[in-house]
């Protein structure tokens, strides 16, 4: 059994929309609809846990009912940081399905609407082999290191640099361990698999599809509209 945790509890300050960005409309549907739809479609995903901002549970429950999503087993509240929200999802799954010996948990940003079926399949397959896997884009731009005075201190070789996306998949017993350890150490990672790496475990990186990007700014939302019109 594989369970997806879809995270929709972020504030989205850069969007400047005055509301949860995953509730913004994209082609007359809330942005979160698209991420949920793609995980609902996957034969590899048994259940979905939706983690939202505290106080917004009703909005998301209404979306689940309106679009008749069958795999969502719970809409739960998140924490102040994305990592805390993901951990809430893990603890919920452990309470309900902890008896299962072999299970992959996938973490996905609700603001990444265009995750593909191949990406879901690939991260599950590789997480079964390595314990953890994630999708990412190869870095194409020149990357410079800049000091506090905004003066360049040199170019960082982009060979081997990747921009991380979601989904990120971790074998469930490993996920429980790394999130618990991060909490104990008061460590805040920049993504889910960074918690795996800090314990010396390998993470398989898979190239993401070009359409799988996170909606962060108003321009990203316009790009998403273009993708839908293709």
Alpha-carbon gap, residue 206 to 208, rounded angstroms: 6
pLDDT in tens, 111-131: 999 999 999 999 999 999 999
What percent of the chain has a predicted confidence (pLDDT) above 70? 97
CB atoms within 10 A of CB 199: 11
The pLDDT, as a whole number, for residue 13 is 67
- Cα distance between residue 13 and residue 54, in whole Å: 17
Band of residue 175 on the pLDDT scale cut at 50, 70, 90? very high
Contacts of residue 189, defined as CB under 8 A and 6 or more positions apart, other chains included, come to 83, 182, 195, 198
81 three-class SS: coil
| Mean pLDDT, range 190-194, rounded to an integer | 97
All domains of the chain in start order, with CATH: 2-229 (3.90.550.10)
Rounded Cα distance, 169 and 134, in Å:
6
State both tokens at 118. Answer: 């191949």
Closest CA to 2 of 33, 32, 43: 43
Q: How do residues 149-171 score in pLDDT, each as one tens digit? A: 999 999 999 899 999 999 999 99
pLDDT in tens, 43-82: 999 999 999 999 999 999 999 999 999 999 999 999 999 9
Mean pLDDT for the chain?
95
In the predicted model, what is the mean pLDDT of residues 73-98?
95
**60 and 22 Cβ atoms separated by less than 8 Å:** no
pLDDT digits (tens, 9 = 90+) for 202-222: 999 999 999 999 999 999 999
pLDDT range class, residue 99, cuts 50, 70, 90: confident
Question: For residue 10, is pLDDT > 90?
Answer: no
């Amino acid at each position: 059994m594989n369970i997806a945790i879809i995270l929709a509890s972020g504030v989205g300050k850069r969007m400047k929309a005055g509301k949860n960005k995953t509730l913004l409309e994209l082609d007359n549907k809330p942005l979160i609809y698209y991420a949920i739809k793609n995980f609902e479609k996957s034969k590899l995903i048994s259940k979905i846990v939706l983690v939202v901002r505290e106080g917004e549970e009703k909005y998301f429950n209404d979306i689940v009912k309106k679009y008749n999503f069958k795999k969502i087993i719970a809409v739960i509240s998140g924490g102040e940081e994305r990592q805390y929200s993901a951990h809430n999802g893990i603890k919920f799954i452990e309470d309900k399905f902890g008896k299962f010996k072999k299970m992959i948990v996938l973490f996905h940003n609700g603001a990444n609407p265009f995750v593909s079926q191949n990406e879901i399949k690939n991260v599950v397959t590789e997480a079964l082999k390595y314990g953890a896997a994630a999708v990412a884009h190869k870095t194409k731009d020149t990357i410079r290191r800049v000091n506090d005075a905004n003066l360049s201190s040199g170019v960082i070789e982009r060979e081997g640099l990747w921009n991380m996306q979601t989904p990120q998949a971790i074998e469930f017993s490993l996920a429980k361990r790394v999130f618990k350890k991060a909490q104990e150490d008061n460590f805040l990672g920049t993504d889910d698999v960074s918690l795996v790496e800090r314990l010396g475990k390998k993470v398989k990186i898979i190239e993401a599809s070009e359409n799988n990007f996170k909606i962060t700014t108003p321009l990203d939302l316009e790009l998403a509209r273009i993708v839908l019109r293709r």
